[in-house]
């Protein structure tokens, strides 16, 4: 099971680099334009992914910033957000690498943000949600980037199978 989560941590980092490569080339007006996505713009959606990851990583590790608002924008510009994203991806990878079978079979306790409630649930399915949440919102960013860039070729594929073929991770 750990190999599965290691693959998703590496896939997460790979996708984020690909998204950042495109987002970083956008004019600031396009990067910040409200386009009707759940979080509005590329900028706000990328901030939401970072905020969500930080919330979950604090729950998993007990360390890192806290947020009371899922709409928070801790990074006001792309360069700061990109650096924070890279640091968070490294933190996610290190956390997953340090997990063992006992921890994966354990539970996690946390308090929700939107409708405060205390929750206890198994760690492994929670990690599955964590990685799925990233994929969900990156898909929104991918759509926004494709619309903004104007060509499908501009925004690279983020299919897991492409990642696996390029890296060899998850194929054995």
HEC profile for the chain?
CHHHHHHHHHHHHHHHHHHHHHHCCCCHHHHHCCCCECCECHHHHHHHHHHHHHHHHHHHHCCCCCCCCCCCCCCCCHHHHHHHHHHHHHHHHHHHHHCCHHHHCCEEEEECCCCCCEEEEEHHHHHHHHHHHHHHHHHHHHHHHHHHHCCHHHCCCCCHHHHHHHHCCCCC
CATH class of the domain defined by 2-167: mainly alpha
Token pair for residue 14? 């790979």
Q: Note the pLDDT tens digit of each residue in 2-52.
A: 999 999 999 999 999 999 999 999 999 999 999 988 888 999 999 999 999
Pick 30 or 150 by higher pLDDT: 30
Q: Note the pLDDT tens digit of each residue in 102-138.
A: 999 999 999 999 889 999 999 999 999 999 999 999 9
Report d(CA 99, CA 94) in Å as an integer: 9
- Residue 151: the pLDDT is 61
Report d(CA 168, CA 171) in Å as an integer: 6
Q: What is the mean pLDDT of residues 143-170?
A: 84
Q: How confident is the model at residue 150 (pLDDT cuts 50, 70, 90)?
A: low
Q: Note the pLDDT tens digit of each residue in 92-111.
A: 999 999 999 999 999 999 99
Q: Note the pLDDT tens digit of each residue in 54-89.
A: 999 999 999 999 898 888 999 999 999 999 999 999
- Residue 146: the pLDDT is 87
* The pLDDT of residue 169 is above 80: yes
Q: How confident is the model at residue 153 (pLDDT cuts 50, 70, 90)?
A: low
* The pLDDT of residue 152 is above 70: no
User: What pTM was estimated for this model as a whole?
Assistant: 0.93
Cβ 31 vs Cβ 41: under 8 Å? yes
Cβ 54 vs Cβ 69: under 8 Å? no
């Amino acid at each position: 099971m750990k190999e599965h989560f290691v693959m998703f941590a590496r896939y997460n980092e790979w996708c984020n680099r690909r998204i950042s490569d495109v987002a970083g080339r956008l004019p600031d007006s396009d990067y910040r334009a409200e386009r009707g996505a759940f979080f509005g713009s590329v900028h706000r959606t990328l901030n939401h992914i970072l905020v969500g990851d930080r919330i979950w990583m604090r729950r998993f590790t007990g360390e890192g910033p806290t947020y009371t608002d899922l709409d928070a924008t801790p990074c006001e510009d792309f360069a700061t957000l990109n650096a924070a994203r890279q640091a968070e991806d490294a933190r996610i990878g290190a956390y997953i690498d340090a997990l063992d079978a006992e921890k994966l079979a354990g539970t996690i306790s946390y308090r929700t943000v939107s409708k405060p409630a205390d929750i206890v649930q198994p760690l492994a399915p929670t990690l599955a949600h964590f990685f799925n949440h990233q994929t969900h919102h990156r898909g929104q960013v991918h759509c926004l980037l494709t619309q903004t860039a104007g060509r499908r070729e501009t925004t690279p594929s983020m299919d897991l199978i492409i990642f696996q073929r390029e890296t060899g991770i998850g194929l054995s």
